[in-house]
Amino acid sequence: MVSAVPSSVDSVTSTPPDAPLLGRSQAELTAWIQEQGQPAYRGKQLHQWLYQRQARSLMEISVFPKVWREQMTQREHAGELDLGRSKIHFRSVAPDGTVKFLLRLKDGHIIETVGMPSDKRLTVCVSSQVGCPMACDFCATGKGGFQRNLTAAEIIDQVLTVQEDFDRRVSNLVFMGMGEPLLNTKEVVKAIHCLNQDVGIGQRGMTVSTVGIPGRIRQLAEMGTLDERTPQFTLAVSLHASNQELRQKLIPTARKYPFEDLLEECREYLLITGRRVSFEYILLAGLNDSLRQADELAKQLRGFQSHVNLIPYNPITEVDYKRPSRESVEGFAQRLRDRHIATSVRYSRGLEADAACGQLRAQKV
């Protein structure tokens, strides 16, 4: 049984006084500004410079008095004040324009973030944890172990870093980087709220990806409620198998979360939010990409308002899994469509830039 969770995100977004400025609303920034002896209208200016101009220091905010900025900058350098911005540790660019960043956090930990541009949108793949405790057998991040959860400020900073680097507005973001978002639900929901309300990214352009934690999908639906409106972001559940036996070989934690229980909780999510669920399915050559398994997956999802994203595997050096042929991928996709399952194939961006999650970090740290 899952304990009761707040019905509104506002009840989980209170900001302690020593927290970074990033992640605070305009009202909270205004209150902070007044505590520093500045007029209230400067709260709006601070809000704009933080979220629209990606300021990394109060010294950059030229509309503030110079003497006050210098005083605040001294506090920043002394560690008494934190805007919440990270430093770029490494930057890798693929021929297709995809940019992968390694970001160094205040405590020295390094996380991955990816910017994926196209003609019409700029998508950011964000991390929610330093490392990941789920230990999925095919994942480079899982091989590297787990250190800690990220704060909402550290999640928001990833989006602003990409926006600043590309000099372009971010339109979409996916929680598909390092970590399991539903093991950090409170900070993820707080970040979603800020990115929507303060940065200006529509929730319909956001996706939260999970391998499934018992009770947490239901919790996400309830915590995601904003101002009595149901969450508009997309839930993406990583299946990666068409049955429980294979799934728990690939995802060790699935032993405690039977396939049917996972699907039942997804149905509850749909009832609470009215939003269909996306299912992620990484195709591994010779393991889960047969037509028989496509038939089995279609049977599991029959009558479910959902969408399946097929993802050809990005190989990593730690394991011997292989990427399936394009013919195999397209055959699997067509089999699902023939069984009336909405399906698309997502070919990974930036393969030349160590695109597998956790791969670049493992090499450069």
For residue 154, give the CATH number of its domain. Answer: 3.20.20.70
User: Same domain for 108 and 73?
Assistant: no
What pLDDT, on the 0 to 100 scale, is given for residue 193?
94
User: Same domain for 253 and 320?
Assistant: yes
Determine how β-strand 234-238 pairs with β-strand 277-283.
Answer: parallel
Rounded Cα distance between 360 and 232, Å, is 32
User: Same domain for 265 and 151?
Assistant: yes
User: Same domain for 72 and 92?
Assistant: no
User: Same domain for 47 and 167?
Assistant: no
What pLDDT, on the 0 to 100 scale, is given for residue 200?
96
112, 187, 222, 265: which is the annotated catalytic residue?
112
Residue at 3 is within a domain? no
User: Same domain for 191 and 305?
Assistant: yes
Per-residue pLDDT in tens (0 to 9) along the chain, 365 residues: 333 333 333 334 456 667 899 999 999 999 999 999 999 999 999 999 999 999 999 999 999 999 999 999 999 999 999 999 999 999 999 999 999 999 999 999 999 999 999 999 999 999 999 999 998 888 877 777 899 999 999 999 999 999 999 999 999 999 999 999 999 999 999 999 999 999 999 999 999 999 999 999 999 988 866 555 678 899 999 999 999 999 999 999 999 999 999 999 999 999 988 899 999 999 999 999 999 999 999 999 998 889 999 999 988 877 889 999 999 999 999 999 999 999 999 987 654 545 545 455 445 55
Q: How many domains does the chain have?
A: 2
User: Same domain for 59 and 96?
Assistant: no
3-state class of 89 per DSSP?
Answer: strand
What pLDDT, on the 0 to 100 scale, is given for residue 223?
80
Residue at 134 is within a domain? yes
Residue ending a domain, among 77, 111, 128, is 77
Residue at 192 is within a domain? yes
Buried b (16+ CB within 10 A) or exposed e, 50-73: bbeebbbebeebeebeeeebeebe
The torsion defined by the Cα of 140, 141, 147 and 150, in degrees rounded to 10, comes to 160
Catalytic, 194? Answer no
What pLDDT, on the 0 to 100 scale, is given for residue 143?
74
User: Same domain for 158 and 95?
Assistant: yes
316-321 own/partner pairs: CB under 8 Å, 24+ apart: 316/138, 316/139, 316/140, 316/143, 316/356, 316/359, 318/140, 318/143, 319/137, 319/138, 321/138, 321/284, 321/285, 321/287
Residue at 1 is within a domain? no
Residue ending a domain, among 50, 77, 104, is 77
136, 139, 194, 357: which is the annotated catalytic residue?
357
Residue ending a domain, among 26, 59, 77, is 77
User: Same domain for 55 and 99?
Assistant: no
Residue at 243 is within a domain? yes
Residue at 272 is within a domain? yes
Entry pTM: 0.89
CATH number, domain of 64, equals: 1.10.150
User: Same domain for 73 and 100?
Assistant: no
User: Same domain for 38 and 137?
Assistant: no
What pLDDT, on the 0 to 100 scale, is given for residue 316?
81
* Residue-range definition of the domain harbouring residue 60: 16-77
Residue at 4 is within a domain? no
What pLDDT, on the 0 to 100 scale, is given for residue 1?
35
What pLDDT, on the 0 to 100 scale, is given for residue 117?
96
Residue at 345 is within a domain? yes
User: Same domain for 63 and 102?
Assistant: no
Rounded Cα distance between 101 and 93, Å, is 9
